[in-house]
Each structure stands twice: as C-alpha cells, then as structure tokens.
Amino acid sequence: MAKITLKNLRHSYYTNPKGPQDFALKEVDLDWQDGGAYALLGPSGCGKSTLLNIISGLLVPSEGQILFDGNDMTTATPDQRNIAQVFQFPVIYDTMTVRENLAFPLKNRGVDPATIDQRVYEIAEMLEVTDMLDRRAAGLSPDNKQKISMGRGLVRDDVNVVMFDEPLTVIDPHLKWKLRTKLKELHQRVGRTMIYVTHDQTEALTFADQVVVMELGEVVQVGTPVELFERPAHTFVGHFIGSPGMNVLPAEIKNGVAHFYGHPVELEGPIKEGTSGKLEVGIRPEFVGLGDTGIEAHVRKVSDIGKHTVVDVEVGEHRVSAILNGAPPAKGDIVHLQFKPSQTRLYADGWLATDVVPESTATGEDAA
Ligand code: ADP
Ligand code: MG
C-alpha cells in the first residue's frame, strides 16, 4: 500500500492542444493518503475516468507526475503499479466459472492454492455469490457479472489501491444500496485505499471519508461530506451537493457590507482581502428561515417532502429555496427571509471569498 501523489497533472487527448478547453484535466495536485476511503465525484465528462486511468497506468498524462510513496511511477506499466480497477461494465472471462474468475488475479500472482480458496470464499460470501461459484460466468445476469467483476477487484490483499469507476451503473437500485454498504464495511475491515468514482452525490457521501469534487477537468474541493455540505469552496459544490442545492444569489458590496437585492446581508466572517469579480451570496436552503422582518419574498411553490417542507420563493426575479420544519406558508403569501449569518458565505467568480473568524481569536478580542 502506498500514498499516491498527483503533481501538476495535465492531460489532453489532442496532440496539439490549443488552449485550456482542449485539456480533459487542467491542473491536478492531489494526495491520496494510504488507507483512505475516497470518492471522486463530478458530472459526466468532468475528467474522472481520465484521472483514474492515469493513476492505473492505462493512460500516460501529457504533463506532470504520479508518485507512489514519493517514487515516480508516471511511466510504469499497470502491472508494475499493483492496482485493482473495476470498470463501469463487467470485465470477466465468460468461459470460466465464477470461482475461476475470482481466483484469476491471485493465481496470476502465484498465490498458493489454499490461500486462493480461502480468499475466493471470503469474497464470494461478502458478495453473496457462494451458490454460483461453480457456474459458468457466461450464463450470469448483468448484475451478477458486475458483482463478480467487483470481486475480482477486491480479491487481492496486496494492491496499492482499489479503484471503482461508476461500478454500480448496471446494478438495480436495491442491490446498489447493499453493495455500497458492503464496500464501506470492507474498507473498514481491510483498511486498503479505495477510490470510488461516481456522479451520484448519495453514493459518494455514503461511501467516502473524503470526497474529491471535480468540474471541467479541475478539482474544486476535497473534504469530508460535512465540510462539502457546510462550507462549499466553490458555488459548483454548493449546487451539486444538497437537495435542493445552495442558493447562489447576486451580491454587491457597499461600504464593506454585502447586499442582495438592496438588502444588507450579514456574512459568516470578513471578506478576503483583494476580493473582486462576480460576487454572489451563498446560503443553503436549510439555513433560510422566515421571520417578521427580513427580505420580502413571494411564495411560488410549497412542496411537502415528508420530514420538512421545501418552499420556493421569489425576491424580484431571483428564486430562493428554504427548507422549513414548522407550519409552512401558502403559495401566494408574502414572507420575510432571514439568512443565518454563520452559514452565509460570499463567493467571487465562484470561489469562496469569506473567512471564518477562528474561535480562539474571537474570544481573545472579546476579552481585550
Ligand atoms: P468522466 O469520466 O468524468 O465522465 P472522462 O474522463 O471520460 O469524464 O472525459 C473527460 C473529457 O475527455 C470529456 O470531454 C471526454 O469527451 C474527453 N475524452 C475522454 N476520453 C477520450 C478519448 N479517448 N479521446 C478523446 N477525448 C476523450
Ligand atoms: Mg467516466
């Protein structure tokens, strides 16, 4: 097992890239700590598979380096990297039995037969496929084929990292949930580095301790699920994570105070020095409340989603969502919005532009 470092990585599928738009990966610097459970999350086409294939050695990057524990592996073959990769669609040998398929990666490395039997049995138990061990893979359903494919990725215990590239695409929803839970358990038991690629926030947030969010060939934030939810580093993360996502509203600074639609808005902390560009206020629907005073808004839609209500309002031409627990207003009502200051952030050209005052400093100032 190893710590994996990506250094100044850039990749273009063109031989003569003309500009940033020709790069599938624009500039990636990342450390994957040994033993971590990671998700790589982002919309289709943002460069997730490109990144994985560069780590596994299926692709050589146009620029930059890949280090395993500090050793340069940029041009090493996939075999030399000692990585297991599970793809979106099953990769198995149809003519072999399930048992032979699962045993193959071990046999290939010269593992002794007794250990092979034991490992194959453990993995088959985990995936609940023990009853099909002696069936030929050709006859299996797509679900089961993919399970075996995952099993082949998990069967070796000496790999540097196991990578899953949207592995549950062909799996039915109920089984999806089960397999995801199993992977998480497995990670906790064996402590091997795992990278799980998905465009689905629920999959990412339930599997991973650390989520790497990508957009347009760039990493926009690395954080725990809570960090991504609470303090998105970029408005993209605010939109992409959460349901509904973060409200991102046009802002103006007047005399050092942020304003939205002419109303002063109290922010979580000071605005970063040198902030300029397109300014926006970001506030999650969970932290928008209603009161007697505040920003006047018209209620356009009220959706009861069980535990709480999602209320969509309009402030001028701007839509704002609020998640409310108490008695909701009715469509057509006029309400007053209150943003929880500690959860209200400023963004400049998409990037977080407010600082939080560290608690120790705040106390120090109070005392002085
Ligand atoms: P993701 O896995 O996040 O959906 P990919 O890494 O597959 O994204 O693709 C990133 C970008 O690179 C996309 O614009 C895609 O069209 C392009 N791309 C991917 N593979 C190739 C290829 N073999 N040749 C040319 N362009 C490619
Ligand atoms: Mg992909």
Q: Spell out the residues 6+ positions from residue 222 whose beta carbon is closer than 8 angstroms to its own.
A: 30, 210, 211, 212, 213
For atom 22 of ligand 1, which residue has the closest CA?
13
Instruction: Give which of 102, 103, 53, 101 is closest to 78, Cα–Cα.
Output: 53
Q: Which two tokens stand for residue 258?
A: 């942020």
Quick one: which H or E segment has residue 44?
Answer: none
Tell me the C-alpha distance between 266 and 254, whole Å. 12
For atom 5 of ligand 1, which residue has the closest CA?
47
Q: Spell out the residues 6+ positions from residue 361 whose beta carbon is closer than 8 angstroms to its own.
A: none
- Span 246-304, pLDDT tens digits: 999 999 999 999 999 999 999 999 999 999 999 999 999 999 999 999 999 999 999 99
Phi, psi angles (nearest 5°) of residue 347: -120, 140
Q: What is the dihedral of CA 289, 295, 299, 304, to 10 degrees?
A: -10
Q: Given the CA of residue 53, which atom of ligand 1 is nearest to it?
A: 6
What was the pLDDT predicted at 179?
A: 84
Query: 12 CB less than 6 Å from ligand 1?
Result: no
Compute CA 230 distance to the chain's CA centroid, rounded to the nearest angstrom: 14
Neighbours of 206 (CB within 10 A): 16
ω into 244 cis (within 30 of 0): yes
Tell me the C-alpha distance between 242 and 221, whole Å. 15
Angle at 218 between CA 345 and CA 11, to 5 degrees: 170
What was the pLDDT predicted at 361?
A: 55
Neighbours of 305 (CB within 10 A): 9
Tell me the C-alpha distance between 57 and 76, whole Å. 7
What was the pLDDT predicted at 366?
A: 45
- The ligand placed nearest to the CA atom of residue 21 is 1
Tell me the C-alpha distance between 58 and 287, whole Å. 45
Angle at 116 between CA 110 and CA 120, to 5 degrees: 135
Q: Which two tokens stand for residue 42?
A: 């982002």
What was the pLDDT predicted at 147?
A: 92
Neighbours of ion ligand 2 (CB under 5 A): 49
Instruction: Say if CB 184 and CB 207 are below 8 A apart.
Output: yes
User: Ligand 1: distance of its center to the CA of 46 in Å?
Assistant: 8
Query: 49 CB less than 6 Å from ligand 1?
Result: yes
User: Ligand 2: distance of its center to the CA of 36 in Å?
Assistant: 21
Query: 48 CB less than 6 Å from ligand 1?
Result: yes
For atom 10 of ligand 1, which residue has the closest CA?
47
Instruction: Say if CB 321 and CB 310 are below 8 A apart.
Output: yes
Query: 44 CB less than 6 Å from ligand 1?
Result: yes
Q: What is the pLDDT along the chain (368 residues), one digit of tens a residue?
A: 789 999 999 999 999 999 999 999 999 999 999 999 999 999 999 999 999 999 999 999 999 999 999 999 999 999 899 999 999 999 999 999 999 999 999 999 999 999 999 999 999 998 899 999 999 999 999 889 999 999 999 999 889 999 999 999 888 888 888 888 888 888 888 888 999 999 999 999 989 999 999 999 999 999 999 999 999 999 999 999 999 999 999 999 999 999 999 999 999 999 999 999 999 999 999 999 999 999 999 999 999 988 899 999 999 999 999 999 988 999 999 999 999 999 999 999 999 999 987 766 554 444 43
pTM of full prediction above 0.75: yes
- The ligand placed nearest to the CA atom of residue 44 is 1
Instruction: Give which of 150, 148, 113, 153 is closest to 134, Cα–Cα.
Output: 148
Domains of the chain: 4-230 (3.40.50.300), 245-361 (2.40.50.140)
Q: Spell out the residues 6+ positions from residue 271 whose beta carbon is closer than 8 angstroms to its own.
A: 253, 256, 258, 346, 353, 354, 355
Euclidean distance between the first and final Cα of the chain, in Å? 51
What was the pLDDT predicted at 365?
A: 46
User: Ligand 2: distance of its center to the CA of 100 in Å?
Assistant: 28
What was the pLDDT predicted at 360?
A: 61
For atom 24 of ligand 1, which residue has the closest CA?
13
Compute CA 151 distance to the chain's CA centroid, rounded to the nearest angstrom: 23
Residue type, 161: V
Query: 53 CB less than 6 Å from ligand 1?
Result: no
Q: Which two tokens stand for residue 171?
A: 């799996």
